[in-house]
Amino acid sequence: MAGVITVAAIDDDRMLLSGLEMWIEPIDDVALIFSAGNLDALTELVEEHGSPDVVLLDLNLRDGSDPAANVRRILETGSRVLVVSTIPDADAVLATIEAGAAGYITKDKDLPVLLDAIRDVAAGGSAVTPELAFLLSRDARPNRPQLSPQERAVLTAYASGATLAAAARRAGVAYGTAREYLERVKRKYAEAGRPTYTKLDLADRVREDRLDRDGLD
């Protein structure tokens, strides 16, 4: 299946899985190779067929399993994860993103939107839908500091590899102001229990909190 993105779906809604199979069957570059109702069944299928490129994971399975733990378990198989849900649970969605899910999409999306998300995730990118962007922009949990637009602008530029002087220019502020913003960012992360000492640490925080995505403010 060279050039074809292999997909598995983990959902306990059999009607939805049947519809998904019919939706994807005619698509040339995406193939649904198997589906399962829980993570134990997925493990058995992976042992038999190998790991798919992308796993579509229902946010809230009826077995009560923890969504973030489910993401981590799937990532251990080598697949990337795209979380899907009918009714968004903000805390659970954000927890799956922190656990390593590459995106989140609601089940009311049309097939082209789902396919684009699958392709983005399979290519190593992120599927940041408007719904996920909304949740990220309003994430007020204690371990995610609330940064001002200026602080975030300096942080994302600096963490991407720019010098502090270059980050200041990109953010449209003076060098000394950018340095103060960066110190504020470090203090806020320390207060949130996520100490950030080095430029690599800052890059990790940008990635973990998806701060490099546009339109979140």
CATH classification at residue 69? 3.40.50.2300
Q: What pLDDT score was predicted for residue 83?
A: 94
Q: What pLDDT score was predicted for residue 155?
A: 93
Same structural domain, 40 and 14: yes
Could you tell me what percentage of the chain is helix, strand and coil, using 3-state DSSP and rounding each to the nearest 5?
A: 50, 15, 35
Residue 216 inside a domain? The answer is no
Residue 142 inside a domain? The answer is no
Number of H helices, E strands in the chain: 10, 6
Q: What pLDDT score was predicted for residue 136?
A: 66
* Residue 195, domain CATH: 1.10.10
Rounded to an integer, what distance in angstroms lies between the CA atom of residue 83 and that of residue 60?
10
Q: What pLDDT score was predicted for residue 126?
A: 83
Euclidean distance between the first and the last CA atom of the chain, given in angstroms as a whole number: 41
- Give the number of domains in the chain: 2
Same structural domain, 82 and 38: yes
| Spatial CA neighbour of 15 closest among 37, 46, 32, 33 | 37
- Whether residue 56 contacts residue 9, with contact meaning beta carbons closer than 8 Å, is answered with yes
| Spatial CA neighbour of 70 closest among 40, 90, 115, 107 | 40
C-alpha pair distances (Å), 208 with each of 10, 14, 45: 24, 33, 30
Same structural domain, 44 and 133: yes
Structure tokens at 165: 């002087």
Q: What pLDDT score was predicted for residue 214?
A: 45
> Does the global pTM surpass 0.75?
no
Residue 143 inside a domain? The answer is no
Same structural domain, 40 and 94: yes
Same structural domain, 30 and 130: yes
Same structural domain, 85 and 108: yes
Strand stretches in the chain, DSSP E: 5-10, 30-36, 54-58, 80-85, 103-106, 127-128
Domain range for residue 195?
149-208
| Amino acid at site 214 | D
Rounded to an integer, what distance in angstroms lies between the CA atom of residue 136 and that of residue 146?
11
Report the chain (217 residues): mean pLDDT per 10 consecutive residues.
86 86 92 89 86 93 89 92 85 84 88 93 85 69 77 91 92 90 89 85 83 53
Same structural domain, 132 and 161: no
